[in-house]
Amino acid sequence: MRFIIVFILIGSIYYNGFSQNDYKRINISKDITLIKLSENAYVHVSYADLPKFGRFPSNGLIFINGSDAFLFDTPVTDSLTMDLVSWIKDSMKLRIVGFVPNHWHNDCMGGLGYLQSQKIESYANQMTIDIAKTKNLPIPAHGFKDSLQLQLGDKLIRCYYLGAAHSLDNIVVWIPSEQILFAGCMVKSSNSKDLGNTSDGYLTAYPKTINKLIDRFPMAKIVIPGHGQFGGIELIKHTKELLTQ
């Protein structure tokens, strides 16, 4: 598999401070940690080594209803994804019934090949699918354009494309029952000093997309960025401030 390296500035990746340290943490391995947000939701944090930048974490989300689960973003490799999925199945006794990546970079869908080997259904922005085809990456099975509503039992999952920002194809995922917004890499952690990697970004469209995010999800209790500490709506506002610098 060809991997797309995502450059993350050191200042945006530390996991300290913030009240998230009060949340239950489960160390699956030296490279994967789960943070329990609620009875039905966990952030999965996976670590990878990047030359010149060292060890850095990437965030994803697990949403659970009964014995079924949806996965949002994978670790950067198939092997790390296998470790995460095996733990979810063997230790949590859950069946992963679907997967949604935030965008095409490997910190979102680097483990898609492994998920496909496990016959796990995948859903993505049609732009993500189109980009994956051009870059010879594993291709998500089902595409959507502006929005997608999925069901996990009696719980809703809503995926939205609000516009280009960190990448052309980046989406956000809203879990109404938990009031959790998985915003991914378009939103920066509170201690981020800049926008990080913008090599595939669209800086002209970015502010408009962030404004849409603020307007649509003022009720979000937990906002999860692609890297670094999760928080509340202040993370989106902080990202907006970074865009003015």
80-133 residue pLDDT tens? 999 999 999 999 999 999 999 999 999 999 999 999 999 999 999 999 999 999
In a domain, 141, yes or no: yes
Query: Annotated catalytic residue: which of 44, 103, 155, 238?
Result: 103
Instruction: Count the Cβ atoms, other than its own, within 10 Å of residue 66.
Output: 12
For residues 32-54, give the mean pLDDT.
91
Residue 10 domain-assigned? no
Q: Which of 166, 169, 170, 238 is catalytic?
A: 166
Marked catalytic residue, from 31, 73, 197, 200: 197
Comparing 4 with 133, which gets the higher pLDDT?
133
What average pLDDT does this structure show over 23-49?
96
Positive/negative CA dihedral, 85, 106, 177, 239: positive
Question: Domain range for residue 204?
Answer: 19-243
Q: What is the mean pLDDT of the chain?
A: 92
Per-residue pLDDT tens over the stretch 190-227: 999 999 889 999 999 999 999 999 999 999 999 999 99
Flag whether 54 is in a domain: yes
Residues written for the chain: 245
Question: In the chain, how many domains are there?
Answer: 1
The beta strands (E) that lie in the chain are given as 25-29, 32-38, 41-50, 54-65, 68-72, 95-100, 123-125, 142-144, 147-152, 155-160, 172-175, 180-184, 222-225
Distances in Å between the Cα of 214 and the Cα atoms of 78, 121, 219 are 34, 30, 9
Active site residue 107: yes
188 is catalytic: yes
**Residue 159 catalytic?**
no
pLDDT of 184 higher than 50: yes
Please tell me the predicted confidence (pLDDT) of residue 188: 97
Answer yes or no: is 53 within a domain. yes
Catalytic residue status for 215: no
Residue 21 is predicted with a pLDDT of: 67
Q: Which of 78, 83, 155, 185 is catalytic?
A: 185
**pLDDT, position 2:** 37
d(C-alpha 210, C-alpha 206), whole Å: 6
Judge contact between 63 and 152, C-beta under 8 A. Answer: yes
What is the pLDDT, as a whole number, of residue 56? Answer: 86
- Of 73, 107, 169, 200, the catalytic one is 107
Confirm whether 1 is domain-assigned: no
pTM of the model: 0.90
Tens-digit pLDDT profile for residues 117-132: 999 999 999 999 999 9
Q: 109 in a domain, yes or no? A: yes
Q: 101: domain CATH number?
A: 3.60.15.10
Q: In the annotation, is 155 catalytic?
A: no
pLDDT at 24 over 50: yes
Give the separation between CA 230 and CA 210, rounded to whole angstroms: 17
Report yes or no on 201 lying in a domain: yes
Share of the chain above pLDDT 70, in %: 91
CA atoms within 13 A on the CB side of 34: 20
How far apart (Å, rounded) are the C-alpha atoms in residues 166 and 202?
7
Which H or E run contains 131? helix 126-134
Asked if residue 84 is part of any domain, the answer here is yes
**Angle CA(141)–CA(61)–CA(224) in degrees, nearest 5?**
120
